[in-house]
Amino acid sequence: MLKRFNILFSMFVLVLLFGCSNPNSSSEEENYENTESKEKVELTVSAAASLQDALTEIKENYEKKHTNIDLTFNFGSSGALKQQIEQGAPVDLFFSAAEDKFDELVQKDEIDTNQGVDLVGNELVLIVPKDSENTIADFTDLTTQADKLAMGTPESVPAGKYAKQTLENLKLWDSLHNKVVYAKDVRQVLSYVETGNVNAGIVYKTDALISDKVKIVATADKSTHDPIIYPVGVIKDTKHSEEATEFYEYLQGKEALDLLKQYGFTAK
């Protein structure tokens, strides 16, 4: 009888101990399982080539905190990216280097105005190879000191459009347009200058800052070209609206904006 009582008492104590164990354990386990079982989502962001380095670092930071998100970037000229979206390319967000390309998608109902914002700005600069012996020190020197000048194709590359505007406003275009070597985006312009295939190039300040093979010799006055603004927005046809909106909002937060500033972009 006593033995039976001891067994029953021991079982009772065990039940009490189990019942008094960490009350949060089940909820913590449930939260962990929810996090682990969250569906993996791949977000595709079409972004201007000049954003490549900044967004690559933003991707690393974001994916560490959002383990279910894979960010995939499609970098290129804003004009080419806009055309791809118009033709039905599977894109979740568009980060443009020009307002007009972005606004065209808004007008065509590809982007909701409530999910689009002017995020950052940039500057236009004249660069030459770092070890160059030429005496180019300003845009006006291009007429006598340069045989080849690289810039983006104005019709599709915003930086090329701004460069042409600057040269026209400085009354230099007529004497320089025959010397121009056109590129598909600003990174190709940068490459042409780095390799010495041209005497000079016109790019965004952010592109010049990432290269140790070029030097900035002049900055275009803001009055010589349209404002350089980078809008970003969520594509209406995205299949991942919640996740796309979350990343869109993250880009507007302090962490992302501070990083963009580190790469030379200016806050709007």
* Chain centroid, CA 27 distance in Å: 38
186 carries a ligand binding annotation = yes
Write the secondary structure of 152-220 as one string of H (helix), E (strand) and C (coil): ECCCCCHHHHHHHHHHHHCCCHHHHHHHEEEECCHHHHHHHHHCCCCCEEEEEHHHHHCCCCEEEEEEC
To the question of whether residue 183 is assigned a binding role by annotation, the answer is no
Q: What is the distance between the alpha carbons of residues 116 and 108, in angstroms, rounded to a whole number?
A: 14
Q: In terms of Cα–Cα distance, which of 99, 102, 100, 119 is closest to 110?
A: 102
Among 83, 86, 87, 80, which Cα is nearest to 108's? 86
- Only one residue has tokens 């090329």, namely 160
50 is in an annotated binding site: yes
Alpha-carbon distance of 59 to 64, in angstroms, equals: 9
Strand partners, 230: 120
Ligand-binding site membership of 78 (annotated): yes
32 appears as a binding residue in the annotation: no
Tell me how far apart the alpha carbons of residues 199 and 145 are, in angstroms, rounded to a whole number: 8
Question: How many other C-beta atoms lie within 10 A of the C-beta of residue 36?
Answer: 9
Task: Provide the annotated binding site.
Answer: 50, 78, 159, 186, 204
Task: Provide the annotated binding site for molybdate.
Answer: 50, 78, 159, 186, 204
